[in-house]
Structure 1
């Protein structure tokens, strides 16, 4: 949120900084657009040039040259020549309006030379002692009649400009603070709501600068909460169904296992029948473990299975899981090569039962996928701060494509090809969940002998403790 608010502040500051630059550019553009094509003071120069273009004629009067007539046409002006002393008009252009006087007093000349004659803006020039007056179209010029300024005002202009800039800067700052404060008060709740939206139930007041965005956030929140409730209801139903099935199947499965064990131990039955009873018993044990795994996976997924942490000797846990697996392999089809540093006792905080279950599941995975038997290697490697448990077999293994499916599968309910094809699935999912609950990681890969490899890595805070067995 701080980054977003900082971005908004920078945007507002950028707008404020750009404003003076835009003002300066507009002043320059105004000067360019209003710059007169005519140089040398325009109509004032034209009046002087008209005076120069007048020549006296015999018998009285004046004659305007061709250049003078062109100047009048260029400015669309009329002209008169007022004689010094008498104030009479001794020459005028042919386009002189009728309302223009033909005689001027000294007071009138003083007024007209700086203002207007009958609303015609005037410019003046001298011809000797006489005065040339040009009258321009009424909409051609706007004249400042009182064009005197106080000297102190001119002398203090730098101070006035600095005061002007300071006041404007203060106003810009006040406006920025007011606008920024209002924007922040409107934006901050929306940003906070958007940040907490995925995890928490939020409601943003739908007012201010981002009222529409706040309303959209509230609508998204309602949809998310509705989806969460529906998902929670569906997952609770699934977890309840799994728990119920696990409970209901336990009793008939125990009966099957008990009767199968009795038949397997009955010497009165043929050897073939006792062997089949043994197969039924072993498969029932696998089924029991599978149902247990399913229930445990569900509990771990929804955090209903507490992880009971205690100080554990991980070496002993690994050894016990291997022994339990060997005890369930009376035929010796799955010999295990157990390699562990003789002087290493790795102590961690963990759940003994869950960790043994994870290791046993990896071993059972090799057994399940290699019904003809295979050799299994269990090796522990220790380093500062971590311990690695590598479990590999030299069985059938998996193809590269199948390995990628196992790595990328979100859960055990994955396609397994034909209906008779065994799958790496629920057991490995449970391994992942147990190891993750202990802050570790699981790596699945091809074994060095072409079989299957599972590497479990657990962190050991504070380094490793070594004792002699």
Structure 2
């Protein structure tokens, strides 16, 4: 709705501005045209020039060549009347005009027409000089304006301009409101399409064609949504089915392998082979579990069970589990929890968050079975560092897991930071993909990168509800 109001405001402002600009341009054109039209012939200059060029020599009048050119340039004929109204000289005088005029005749044509001939008069030393143009060559109209009006002409001008502007705004608002009524169903339809809701707009009116196209697009999107939903359900069901079918025979393999591994009557080589079978079976089981979980997270089919979680305690628990799992001496785990993060509490699924931290640590250990080549030579160990901090500015709990191992393969790193096709679940990097999905499901962000030397660094930023117990207590009141 805000966008529609913005459209209406811009439409009204634009329409009013256009109307105002056109009004100003029309006034400017009118003024220029009037000035040019009035200046097409400089009347006073021509008449005075002709009057000065008409001289009396003995008993006749002589018009100089300059005067003749002036008559030809601005007029068609000329005559000179004496004080009695008799024509005493003429130049190209039409035959239909009288040769004598009364005072009343002179008063009548002196500012207007003489027998439909536009005329101008000028005082001559020998009488009255009359210059005439062809019929229908000029339009004359007398105008009388009160003095008070002329004194306030600027005020009237700006007043008319303001009134026209107000009228333009009102008219634009009326037309804009009408357009807005036509746009409102379309905007509602677009919003429904964005929410994946079906759209069925009326196809009549000014924007009927556009409404028809939106209806067609909505129907096509709904069909595609059904197809995609079926495909996603089929993929998730298939992954869940395969996971279920593999779990039982895999448990049997792991059980027998464990028995063979613990059988003291078997040779050591065969027991070692049984141990390898068990460990590889555990990897297959973990992979199947990750694939199933990743599929559910990707299509929002994994329900979250939110509880209040102390992230420092959760991370400590994961670290302790790794230390108690018989971790090889070539690995060491350093845990650093800052003071501000000791009591950081967030709402989330404890099982999934524990899985995310565990996956990060397991990734560092599992992909560096013999240590890093450079690091082995110097330290002979692979060091895993877990750091928990609180970002006070954005109330985020940051969990950083880094190692000095082999790092993350570039193609996996690219897919983690810029997933192009989320539907593709690859076994390589699947554990880190689950970490990203779990973080996203909790409204957080994840960052994966390789260090400039050796190893990798992963940062999880999760929104917290309180950094201190008393703050959490205050929120629950």
State the secondary structure of the residue aligned to 1:41. Answer: helix
How far residue 319 of structure 1 moved from its aligned partner, in angstroms, is 3.9
Cα RMSD of the aligned pairs, angstroms, is 3.9
Matched with 1:70 is 69
Q: Which runs of 5+ in 2 are unaligned?
A: 372-380, 471-477
2:5 aligned with 1:9, yes or no?
no
1-side partners of 2:338 and 2:147: how far apart? 100
Task: Indicate conservation of the 8 Å contact 1:398/1:446, yes or no.
Answer: yes
Q: Which moved more, 1:231-240 or 1:38-47?
A: 38-47
Matched with 2:355 is 357
2-side partners of 1:211 and 1:21: how far apart? 37
2:309 aligned with 1:312, yes or no?
yes
The alignment's TM-score, normalised by the length of structure 1, stands at 0.79
Q: Which moved more, 1:291-300 or 1:381-390?
A: 381-390
Q: Which runs of 5+ in 1 are unaligned?
A: 417-422
Task: Indicate conservation of the 8 Å contact 2:201/2:211, yes or no.
Answer: yes
Task: Indicate conservation of the 8 Å contact 2:311/2:344, yes or no.
Answer: yes
Match among 271, 274, 282 for residue 274 of structure 1? 271
2-side partners of 1:415 and 1:353: how far apart? 21
User: What does 1:431-442 correspond to in 2, within 5 Å?
Assistant: 431-442=435-446
Task: Indicate conservation of the 8 Å contact 1:397/1:446, yes or no.
Answer: yes
Match among 454, 458, 467 for residue 458 of structure 2? 454
Q: Which moved more, 1:161-170 or 1:4-13?
A: 161-170
User: What does 1:33-432 correspond to in 2, within 5 Å?
Assistant: 33-41=36-44, 45=48, 48-49=51-52, 53-55=54-56, 57-58=58-59, 61-85=60-84, 87-93=85-91, 95-128=92-125, 130-144=127-141, 147=142, 149=144, 153=146, 155-156=148-149, 158=152, 161=156, 168=164, 171-191=167-187, 193-194=189-190, 197-201=193-197, 202=199, 217-218=214-215, 220-326=217-323, 329=326, 332=328, 335-339=331-335, 344=342, 347-372=345-370, 375-383=382-390, 387-398=397-408, 403-404=413-414, 406-410=416-420, 425-432=429-436
1-side partners of 2:261 and 2:321: how far apart? 21
Task: Indicate conservation of the 8 Å contact 1:393/1:449, yes or no.
Answer: no
State the secondary structure of the residue aligned to 1:349. Answer: strand
Query: How far does the alpha carbon of each residue in 1:178-231 deviate from its partner, in whole angstroms, 9 at most, with x for none?
Result: 233223334455455555643343455556666665555555544544443333
Query: How far does the alpha carbon of each residue in 1:307-334 deviate from its partner, in whole angstroms, 9 at most, with x for none?
Result: 112233434433443444456547x366
1-side partners of 2:48 and 2:291: how far apart? 105
Flag the structure with larger Rg: 1
- Structure 2 CA distance for partners of 1:172 and 1:218, relative to 1, 3 Å: same
1-side partners of 2:44 and 2:186: how far apart? 61
Q: Which moved more, 1:258-267 or 1:318-327?
A: 318-327
How far residue 45 of structure 1 moved from its aligned partner, in angstroms, is 4.0
Task: Indicate conservation of the 8 Å contact 2:12/2:173, yes or no.
Answer: no
The alignment's TM-score, normalised by the length of structure 2, stands at 0.78
Aligned pair count reads: 449
